[in-house]
Amino acid sequence: MNEKLVIQIQAYLDGELSVEARLQLLARLEKDPEARELCDSLKAEQSLLKGVGESGHELPVAHSYFWKAISDEIQPHPTSSNQAMHKQTTVAFQRWSAWLVPGGVIACIALVMFQKGVFDDVLDGIESTGKKAARIAPSFHEIDSQQQNAGFISFRSESEGVSVVWISNY
Amino acid sequence: MSVDLPFEDREETEVVSAAQTGDVDAFEELVRRHGDKIFRRALSMMRDENTALDMAQLAWIKAWNRLSQFHGDSSFATWMTRVTINLCLDHIRKAKRWKFAESIEEMDENSGGVERKLPFVEINPTEGLEREELKKTIDKALAQLSEGHRAVIVMHTFEEMAYKEIAESLDCSIGTVMSRIFYARRNLASILKRMLEEDSQS
């Protein structure tokens, strides 16, 4: 039996032969008992495989575990440019924090000292109120100076066209 | 309205459509529905549970990226199975564990003469227990086939793919597919006959 005939029989059983080729083969099978026997064998084997089917293997892991690996791949992740930007921001913050932390500490100490009147002794050393005002705003000149017990000091800058009133707490 | 139903209660076409718009929950429902079948197909191709698990997961990831290519010409399960089979074939090709023979003569060298008659095995599908045992026996026999022969058996017999479709998947001629299927079946029948004889003797 030649190879071509064997393959033709199989194609016939698989429904892959053209009408013309199928008619030719059927005529051959009528006359050739050996070919007919082979055809029957192939047919039985096909029935066996298709009839019995496959084993019912199931996923060997839980769905949640199986899905997680898929989900991790298909869910949107931060892009590489976003990650790079985030990294740059972090580095810049770390650089600034090296200065900000000691600067903040110094500012806090200064604030506490100011509130406790530590600077009052320094200011008392300045004799006149005008000098004190000049120290505070040297470019301004006093236009209406009152005694300290009056509670306020006012300044006027003609060149700037601005008036400033200093109100004392005591 | 069905829109308000959870995906598990919706028709497959609706779930697929939602997944195609990027709904991950809908896609998870598809994985839940067809996860076993896809794993089973990967296992039948690879014959190794861990590799099959990897292939099944990769197939789902690939399917997610190519969902727009599914137009409903076949069922989603069929389309997904094709994705899995092609992925497994690619994996096997890359591993260079086998190559497709291009001639029937080449096939014949590994399989013996064409003249050898196929063993004839009769079964009665109505006998449940016997059928289950046969199923396991066939599974073991499939495992003994070469990857090339197993691939065509799976594609043709179990997936009922046409010669042309198998040829496209394997990137070979229809003639090669026909000869390969024949030798694969004959080898499988020989293995089955031997196994059944051994069982009957024991």
Q: Is A53 on the interface with B (CB under 8 A)?
A: yes
Optimal mutation site among B25, B28, B38, interface A, most CBs of chain A within 10 A: B28
Q: Is A158 on the interface with B (CB under 8 A)?
A: no
The alpha carbon dihedral of A11, A42, B185, B36 has a sign of positive
Listed residue (A66, A71, A74, A54) closest to B35, CA to CA: A66
Confidence of residue B166 (pLDDT cuts 50, 70, 90): very high
Contact B131 A75 (CB under 8 A): no
Q: Nearest C-alpha of chain B: how many angstroms from A86?
A: 27
Contact A74 B24 (CB under 8 A): yes
Which residue does chain B place closest to A34, by CA atoms?
A: B117
- Spatial separation of the C-alpha atoms in residues A58 and B49, rounded to whole Å: 10
Q: Is A122 on the interface with B (CB under 8 A)?
A: no
Tell me how far CA of residue A94 lies from CA of A75, A88, A97, B92, in angstroms. Answer: 31, 10, 5, 50
Looking at the predicted structure, is the pLDDT value of residue A94 above 80? no
Looking at the predicted structure, is the pLDDT value of residue B115 above 50? no
Lowest mean pLDDT among A31-35, A37-41, A120-124, B32-36: A120-124
Considering only CB atoms, B57 lies closest to which of A41, A55, A69, namely: A69
- Mean per-residue pLDDT for B117-126? 48
Contact B153 A75 (CB under 8 A): no
Looking at the predicted structure, is the pLDDT value of residue A135 above 70? no
Which element (helix H / strand E) includes B165? Answer: helix B163-170
pLDDT in tens, B22-66: 999 999 999 999 999 999 999 999 989 999 999 999 999 999 999
A 132-151 residues with CB below 8 A of B? Answer: none
Contact B134 A48 (CB under 8 A): yes
CB B115 within 8 A of CB A1: yes
Q: Is B28 on the interface with A (CB under 8 A)?
A: yes
Which residue does chain A place closest to B190, by CA atoms?
A: A45
How many residues in total does chain B contain?
202
As a whole number, the mean pLDDT across chain B is 83
As a whole number, the mean pLDDT across chain A is 75
Q: Which residues of A touch B135 (CB under 8 A)?
A: 52-55
DSSP B21-82: TT-HHHHHHHHHHHHHHHHHHHHHHH--HHHHHHHHHHHHHHHHHTGGG--SSS-HHHHHHH
Contact A10 B57 (CB under 8 A): no
Looking at the predicted structure, is the pLDDT value of residue A99 above 90? no
- Spatial separation of the C-alpha atoms in residues A62 and B35, rounded to whole Å: 11
Which residue does chain B place closest to A75, by CA atoms?
A: B24
Which residue does chain A place closest to B189, by CA atoms?
A: A45
pLDDT at A43: 87
- Mean per-residue pLDDT for B128-155? 84
Paired with A157 in beta bridges are: A162
Contact A11 B188 (CB under 8 A): no
Contact B121 A54 (CB under 8 A): no
Q: Is B188 on the interface with A (CB under 8 A)?
A: yes
Contact A59 B156 (CB under 8 A): no
Residue bearing the bigger pLDDT, A95 or B185: B185
- Mean per-residue pLDDT for A78-97? 60
A 69-108 residues with CB below 8 A of B? Answer: 69-71, 73-75
